[in-house]
Structure formats: C-alpha cells, structure tokens
C-alpha cells in the first residue's frame, strides 16, 4: 500500500490557484487519512518538518516576542502574588 508523504500538511497555496480549486484537494487528503491503518497514520503524520528559513529580521522579531511574553508573564505572576497579601 502506498503512503502519501504530504499527509497532515493541507493544501499548499500556489499562485494562480483559487480557494475553489484548493477545496477538492483538501477533501482528497482527508479521505486518504480516513482509510489508513492506525500505525500508517502515525508514521505518515510523525515525520519531522524542516525548519523554516527565516530572515534575520524575522528571527529578531520572534526573539523579541519571546522576551516580551516572558516579561509579561513575570508581571502577571508578580501581580497575582502581590494581591494575595
């Protein structure tokens, strides 16, 4: 039995394809998943995805977002503990 390498990825949008043309492809992928055995499904969906190639600007932006989330989390925890007293 053949396995599909792109299971779980959904349809890739390429220039020139409309949403109406993508819908049948997504339904086809879902139908294929439905007929797989459990171990085939796990094997097909547990393949690692390559890391996205990001620009330096995007990487810096994501790191800034991480730092922001940590700082805001610390502020929320501090406020919660301060309000307990």
Give residue-wise pLDDT tens across range 6-17: 444 444 444 555
Q: Which range (8-12, 51-55, 58-62) has the least confidence?
A: 8-12
Q: Give CA–CA dist 31/57, Å, rounded.
A: 40
Q: Give CA–CA dist 54/56, Å, rounded.
A: 7
Stated pTM of the model: 0.47
pLDDT of residue 42: 80
Domain spans, the chain: 1-49, 53-85
């Amino acid at each position: 039995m053949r396995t599909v390498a792109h299971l779980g990825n959904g349809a890739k949008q390429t220039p020139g394809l409309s949403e109406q043309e993508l819908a049948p492809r997504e339904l086809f992928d879902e139908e294929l998943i439905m007929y797989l055995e459990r171990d085939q499904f796990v094997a097909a969906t547990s393949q690692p995805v390559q890391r996205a190639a990001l620009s330096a600007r995007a990487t810096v932006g994501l790191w800034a977002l991480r730092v922001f989330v940590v700082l805001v989390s610390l502020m929320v925890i501090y406020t919660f503990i301060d309000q307990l007293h």
